[in-house]
Amino acid sequence: MDKKIKFSLVYRDMWQSSGKYMPRVDQLVRIAPEIIKMGCFDRVETNGGGFEQINLLFGENPNKAVREWTRPFNEAGIQTHMLDRSLNGLRMSPVPADVRKLFYKVKKAQGVDITRCFCGLNDPRNIIASIKYAKEAGMIAQGTLSLTVSKVHTVEYYCNLADELIANGADEICLKDMAGIGRPVSLGKIVKHIKTNHPAIIVQYHGQTGPGFTPASILEVCKNGCDIIDVGMEPLSWGTGHADVIMVQEMLKDAGFKVPEIDMIAYMKARALTQEFMDDFLGYFIPESNRRLQSLLIAPGLPGGMMGSLMNDLKDNLSSINKSLIKQGKAEITTDELLIKLFDEVAYVWPRVGYPPLVTPFSQYVKNLALFNIMQVTKGQERWTMIADNIWDMILGKAGKLPGEVAPEIKKLAASQGREFYTGDPQALYPDKLEDFKKEMKEKGWEFGQDDEELFELAMHPEQYRALRSGDAKKAFEKELAQEKAKLADKTAAPVAATSTAAFEPKVLNLTVNGEQFTVSVSYGTEAAPDTPLQATAPNAAPSATVNEIIAPISGKFFKTKDSSEKALNAGDTVQKGQVIGYIEAMKVFNAITSDVAGKIVEYRSENGAEVDEDDVLIRIQ
What pLDDT shows up at residue 360? Answer: 78
- The pLDDT > 90 percentage for the chain reads 51
Rounded-to-integer distance, Cα 436 and Cα 261, Å:
51
What pLDDT shows up at residue 307? Answer: 56
What pLDDT shows up at residue 565? Answer: 60
Confidence check: pLDDT of 535 > 50: no
The overall average pLDDT reported for the chain is: 85
Give the contacts of 3 (CB within 8 A, at least 6 positions apart): 222, 225, 257, 258
What pLDDT shows up at residue 490? Answer: 72
pLDDT confidence bin for 54, thresholds 50/70/90:
confident
Backbone angles phi, psi at 51, to 5 degrees: -55, -50
Confidence check: pLDDT of 115 > 60: yes
Task: For the full predicted model, state whether its pTM sits above 0.85.
Answer: no
Write down the number of H helices and E strands in the chain.
20, 17
Enumerate the domain spans of the chain: 6-285, 525-621
Confidence check: pLDDT of 498 > 50: no
Reported as a single tens digit per residue, the pLDDT across 554-605 is 667 888 887 656 778 888 899 988 788 888 775 445 667 888 889 999 988 8
Reported as a single tens digit per residue, the pLDDT across 338-368 is 888 888 898 899 999 999 988 878 888 888 8
What pLDDT shows up at residue 313? Answer: 60
Instruction: Pick left, alpha or beta for residue 376 (phi over 0 → left; psi -120 to 50 → alpha; otherwise beta).
Output: alpha
What DSSP string describes 82-97? EEE-GGGTTSSS---H
Question: Length of the chain, please?
Answer: 622
Rounded-to-integer distance, Cα 528 and Cα 608, Å:
22
Q: With the C-alpha atoms ordered 472, 476, 477, 479, is the resulting torsion angle positive or negative?
A: positive
What pLDDT shows up at residue 92? Answer: 83
Fold of 525-621: OB fold (Dihydrolipoamide Acetyltransferase, E2P) (2.40.50)
- The three-state DSSP-derived secondary structure of 239-275 is CCCECEHHHHHHHHHHCCCECCCCCHHHHHHHHHHHH
pLDDT confidence bin for 390, thresholds 50/70/90:
confident
pLDDT confidence bin for 504, thresholds 50/70/90:
very low
Of 45-59, 138-152, 509-523, 552-566, the least confident: 509-523
Rounded-to-integer distance, Cα 87 and Cα 18, Å:
25
Reported as a single tens digit per residue, the pLDDT across 77-101 is 999 999 999 999 998 889 999 999 9
What pLDDT shows up at residue 303? Answer: 66
What pLDDT shows up at residue 493? Answer: 63
What pLDDT shows up at residue 553? Answer: 67
What pLDDT shows up at residue 511? Answer: 43
Confidence check: pLDDT of 179 > 80: yes
Q: Does 6-285 carry CATH code 3.20.20.70?
A: yes
Higher-pLDDT residue of 205, 495: 205
Confidence check: pLDDT of 145 > 90: yes
Reported as a single tens digit per residue, the pLDDT across 298-310 is 766 666 555 555 6
